[in-house]
Amino acid sequence: MSFLKKKSLWLSVIFLIALGGATLYVIHRELNGQDIVGTLKNANIWWVLSAVLFSFLYFVTDAMNIGRCLKLVGYKMSFANLLKYSFAGFFFSSVTPSASGGQPGQLYFIAKDGIKVSSGAFSLLCALLSFQIISVSWGIVGVFFAPHSIFEIDGKYAYVFPIGFAINMAIIVMLFGILFSRKTAAFLAGISMKLPGRKPSKPGDKFKSLRSFANYRQAAKLMKNNKIVFVKMLINSFVQISILFSIPFLCARALGATELTWFQGICTQGALFLSVSSLPLPGAAGVTEYGYALFFDGLIPTTILGSTLLLSRFCNFILPLVESGLGLLFLQLKSNKRREAK
């Protein structure tokens, strides 16, 4: 066995251990001795299967948006690769504070597939901007139409929503600046070149950085001249986020909350997501569960509220985490084998 193949094998083993360890840690932290098996036994299997299907469709719609951007900048990737990038985004977002590891994790796999970092970064930022716009929009709708007004919540949690809303709005403004403002993008590129470990050490390094910036600006110009692509991305994100926000409703119905309507469920989940999605906690752990109990109190009978919370967290976080981890591992190992065969 050649040195390169041995190295690839060991990297694959390390990758497997890291993925498995992170997944098991997060699952243990989330369940913390709670009886998910007992909850599933008491649930209507068809509603649960619908929630499971929706959790996978979330990745499919996410992959479609990434593919649209990459196609615009000249890369037509297979759907398996696009799905891999989607898996990477969810997985690394779930195990890092404020979902900060999602885009860097995706960019790593995109670069490994031979896509320019500048084109990959632009595509991911466009997909993120589309996601942010629609999730914030659903959150705002939730504030006004959710049965429980966010402004009626007392205690420490009353401060969480305005903080979460402000952070998400700031992210949207920042993304617009990075993507479509030449001055903002140039300013940030200049700062990145001055960071420790990024300063040009050889004459060609600065040229490479400037060339990457030029490629990035070219991609931004393409998006400006093809606005219909971004409109399609917004429509796709609307479907994607509606799927994601529907999962708590499906879980509530699975356990017998027949009075809860889809619109009530999706509005309430939208307001909750806007509150906690950008807090500096892996998967917004802890505060999501507390917020769920506050937001859905009265909409779901008290006798099944705890079980519904557990099932919902399982279907919209733990199950997708396992799906994304296993899917990422399988698709990456498949890509490695394909490269070695060449």
Q: What is the pLDDT along the chain (342 residues), one digit of tens a residue?
A: 444 444 554 555 565 566 556 655 665 555 565 677 788 888 899 999 999 999 999 999 999 999 998 998 888 889 999 999 999 888 888 777 666 677 888 888 888 888 888 788 888 888 888 898 999 889 888 878 776 666 666 655 666 677 777 887 887 887 777 777 766 666 655 555 555 555 544 544 444 554 555 565 666 677 777 889 889 999 999 999 999 999 999 999 999 888 888 998 898 888 888 777 655 544 445 566 777 777 787 788 888 888 888 888 888 888 888 888 888 888 877 776 666 665
Domain of residue 315, residue span? 44-180+226-332
Nearest of 134, 153, 128, 112 to residue 273 by alpha carbon: 134
What count of residues does the chain have? 342
| Residues forming beta bridges with residue 97, ordered by sequence position | 282
The reply to whether 342 falls in a domain is: no
Nearest of 253, 258, 248, 242 to residue 47 by alpha carbon: 253
Task: Note whether 262 and 246 are within 8 A (CB).
Answer: yes
Report how many domains make up the chain: 1
The reply to whether 75 falls in a domain is: yes
| Residues forming beta bridges with residue 282, ordered by sequence position | 97
The reply to whether 132 falls in a domain is: yes
Instruction: Count how many Cα atoms sit within 13 Å of the Cα of residue 316 in the half-sphere of its side chain.
Output: 27
Task: Note whether 130 and 65 are within 8 A (CB).
Answer: yes
The reply to whether 314 falls in a domain is: yes
Which tokens in the block code for residue 88?
């990477």
Which tokens in the block code for residue 91?
């997985």
The reply to whether 50 falls in a domain is: yes
Distance CA 306, CA 81 (A): 38
The reply to whether 191 falls in a domain is: no
The reply to whether 256 falls in a domain is: yes
The reply to whether 341 falls in a domain is: no
| Residues forming beta bridges with residue 297, ordered by sequence position | 300
